[in-house]
Amino acid sequence: MYDAVQTAADSIAAQHGGPFPKTVLVLGSGLGGFGEVIETQTIIPYKDIPGFPTSTVSGHSGQLLIGKAAGAPVACMQGRLHLYEGHPIEQVALPIRAYRALGAQTLVLTNAAGSLKPDMGPGSLMIIEDHINASGQNPLIGPNDEKIGPRFPDMSDAYDRALREKLASAANIENIDLASGVYLYTQGPSFETPAEVRMFASWGADAVGMSTAPEAIAAVHAGLKVAGLSLITNHAAGIASHKITHDETLAVGAQSFEKMSRLMLRFLPAVA
């Protein structure tokens, strides 16, 4: 495992040349356009990085951008990898481990999610306080490599408190309403049933989605600090009065793009 991580890291270093940013941003469904806001120095398609899986979902383009956002050095995954695409879970962890090997310290995970709260509607932004992994999957299953991280990583502050405060203060400066809540991870790709949605709400979840938790677990294991931000694109099944579609996710992502972009441009320099 460690060799595969090092091979990917070496390949990124060779293709980029300069120092690797301390902050890495992962763009969720419909948020890939933030890549255009970055002053890009290097673009590396995932297919040119050994061991990186390629992204197959519409709205996810599949490249690593390295450059600056509002003057702050950042690497940006334009195109996320999901388990429902059929990638083995350890492949979802590999890019994160490679960034850590390159010296990254912070991972900012964004996603599109369904709301479980009637008063948190489409277009809302939610800081991820914590997650519930309801998938039965974990990227750390299998032999543990102590060179990467410990066998049993602590998850009590998985979404770093100081980063959550920085996100909240960036939103405050930009006059953007920000909710805060628990993100529940389900593998997908089918959306939830109304019965599942009722159960998840009773468990204490505020939003549901098909990403983020595997990356957060791999990042905490490897010693990265994690921040998470959900863009609420719809009310989850049973709360919404209509059927849920991926097109709706992409459309609300596009509508809320300006807000999320302003928030990130204020937040990223505060993290760097």
Q: Which residues bind ligand HPA (CB under 6 A)?
A: 112-114, 191-192, 208-210, 233-234, 236, 244, 249
For residue 125, the minimal CB distance to ligand HPA (Å) is: 13
Q: Beta strand pairing status for 63-69 and 125-133?
A: unpaired
Q: Is the peptide bond before 189 cis (omega within 30 degrees of 0)?
A: yes
Active-site residue flag, 234: yes
Burial of 131 (0-12, 13-18, 19+ CB in 10 A): buried
- The Cα angle at residue 86 between residues 250 and 232, in degrees rounded to 5: 25
Residue tagged active-site, from 82, 87, 131, 235: 82
Cα 8 to Cα 77: distance, rounded to the nearest angstrom: 14
- 213 to 65, 70, 79, 173, 226: CA distances (angstroms): 22, 27, 16, 28, 11
Active-site residue flag, 246: yes
Report the residue number, 8 or 232, with the smaller CB distance to ligand HPA: 232
Active-site residue flag, 175: no
Q: Which residue has the tokens 């800081």?
A: 127
Q: CA nearest 115: which of 202, 182, 26?
A: 182
Tokens at 223, concatenated: 């010693």
Residue tagged active-site, from 72, 112, 126, 171: 112
Report the residue number, 208 or 224, with the smaller CB distance to ligand HPA: 208
For residue 143, the minimal CB distance to ligand HPA (Å) is: 31
Report the residue number, 106 or 249, with the smaller CB distance to ligand HPA: 249
Residue tagged active-site, from 60, 87, 221, 235: 60
For residue 250, the minimal CB distance to ligand HPA (Å) is: 10
Report the residue number, 104 or 112, with the smaller CB distance to ligand HPA: 112
Tokens at 134, concatenated: 């309801």
Active-site residue flag, 60: yes
Active-site residue flag, 211: yes
Strands (E), 79-163: 106-115, 125-133
Active-site residue flag, 112: yes
Residue tagged active-site, from 55, 115, 124, 234: 234
Report the residue number, 172 or 193, with the smaller CB distance to ligand HPA: 193
Q: Catalytic residue positions?
A: 29, 60, 82, 84-85, 112, 210-211, 234, 246
